[in-house]
Structure 1
Amino acid sequence: MIERRVNGVVRAITLDVSIEREALAELALFERDPAGYKTKKQSAAEASAKTAKKGVALDVPNFEAFIRHVKNEGLTDNYRRYVLTPYLTAWGVALAERQLRDVTLTELYEILDRWSTARTARIIALKAFTKWLRERDMLRLAEDPTAELKVPPSKAEKSVRPKGYVLAAVEQAYAEANSQRLRDTLRIRATTGMHATEIDRVARGDGILTEVNDPCGIKGTVTFRQLKADMTHTISLDSETFAAFQRCQIVGRGLGDSGVVQMLRRIADRLRSKCTNEEERRSIVPLHPSQLRHSFSTWARTNGELVRPTGRGLPIEEVAAVMGHTNIKTTKKFYLTERVPPMIRLPLRLVHPADPSAESAAARKAASND
């Protein structure tokens, strides 16, 4: 506490400090300007009051600050460019830079009803922005019009149309692919179920490849950050997929979906040209890379084989039960530190005569590190 006479009046100020060093620093500030001195709590309350009085809007400065924030948080360039930027820009135009505290929930739904597409993505983008404002103490929860704005529940699209491919279709496209980068991308996505953005981050060096050489068939692991789940994830790999990842890291970037889609369309055209009848031609459709994740989950469920590095181990559900966890997420996020997790082996035969051997890929990787 500071007790001093200022302009004939005794001021007794309780400091917001916990150690002597902080108290001395506050005393120095007080003595520099006794009449204008404010504690940390007083300064914060004053700043909050100014913000509340001024209000906050979805304007250009706040939008740009938010985009910088999510970039620093690791959100992908594609998501920033193709989701957050266009949808927040549309919200900004619709709200005309009004103070958010003056906007009602009814108005937000009326604005949403004007747009015929991407309702869920538009809501998520706006709620992400207002959440950031609240975290920065720029918007109070009571003044946030998006607090009760509900994100529509996800619908299982598989009930609308079939997803994924049969094993033979992927094997056929792989055998027809002339590009090694395309074949590596197809192999990784089909055998791991990873997203394109995750593969790209690993290729750029934001993931770790670890060689294991376990007799069970696990060549190594790839460890990377799952941004949505905010946790580190490790996948065990066979020798061919491990070598494909090594080649990706030599290139230094993943193959984007747009390029993959174009090449897969050309592959479908070539395969159709080899058909002898119309029925065969109609049966060949271009693969889409996003469907390989669905394919992986289906293949794993129906034909997959679980390969454990030691041949032993308990399911995570049983470990969680013994530890008294009601949710396995707690066990996995805070306690599970598997160096080599089990691997899912699929009856998928991806063969191309131009594929390099795993040994040659390892040699090139070593040479690139020299």
Structure 2
Amino acid sequence: MAERDAASRHLPVLLQRCVDLLAPALAEPGSVMIDATLGMGGHTEGVLEALPHVRVVGIDRDPEALRLASARLARFGDRFTPVHAVYDEIPEVLERLDLPGVQGVLMDLGVSSLQLDEAGRGFAYAQDAPLDMRMDPTRGRTAAEVLNTYDEADLARVLREYGEERFAGRIARRIVQAREKAPLERTSELVDLVRAGIPAAARQTGGNPAKRTFQALRIEVNDELAVLARAVPAAVEALVVGGRIVVESYQSLEDRLVKRAFAAGAEISAPPGLPVVPETHAPFLRLLTRGAEEADAAELARNPRSQSVRLRAAERLRPTPEHLRPGRGDAGSTGGPGGRRPDRTRAPRAPRSPNGPRRTA
């Protein structure tokens, strides 16, 4: 029942294209792929069916997704290994499983079908629900906590940076005014505030006016961009030579991070003007797509959720040069691409005090 439930609720985006891109790296018996964002297991199922000699390690931070995917993939036995983790923890997952490297990595980013379809999770602006939005509902700060504790400047920053919302300041002001009367608790309250904060003319196009605000809050609650900035370099480091990585993004902020990470590996890192490029500065990645691929008409007709997908893929050509390995340089202290991951036992980031620096929780 759970297997049928997961399969009926999740249609994987660009499945055949993902399999085709990964297959050359997974040709040898005993090959291992990491599905870094397992969800309900649709992509993993496609790989396991198409490549019967491959093992997949499926990572997800959502316990319910792991439960549903595990039931769906139970018929593959020990060829599938579920792991409860955030996908920037790939190095720790491989160490725990005693895997020195893998031949493939797949990332299907953003919110999953499971999270969108379950109204009680608070991800969907079209359904009234508690303001939660945590991908792992067992830990972390909820959207309600963000809305009710961040000061106006921080709320505007989140909406502007993560939602690319033109009216971030107006919406943040409405939120602060509303919570002075009573804490915000429901998604419908937030939708009404966003609608009231956006000029009537701007509400006529672009779909639901709350879409960008919900995206921004989801990214903030789950620290999505910081996790992605650490996860892509970690995934590349997990690949053996000849291994391949495929990433599907669904909004420009994600795609920009992936593009930059791949480009950094596919470019010569030596100073310009050298007569001969040292091997240590030669590219260590080969781009497999020309720019970002989008869904064609057939995919859109089959799966409307593929409308915003941007797919990029790369192949590892050689080990990463020492000077470009994750953790080198200033990135390690900032949590930027390749940097150190924060201690996950720490409290989530607290809002700035109106009169001073950011408070600690």
TM-score, normalised relative to structure 1: 0.20
Looking at secondary structure, tell me which structure has more helix per residue.
1
Which structure has the bigger radius of gyration? 1
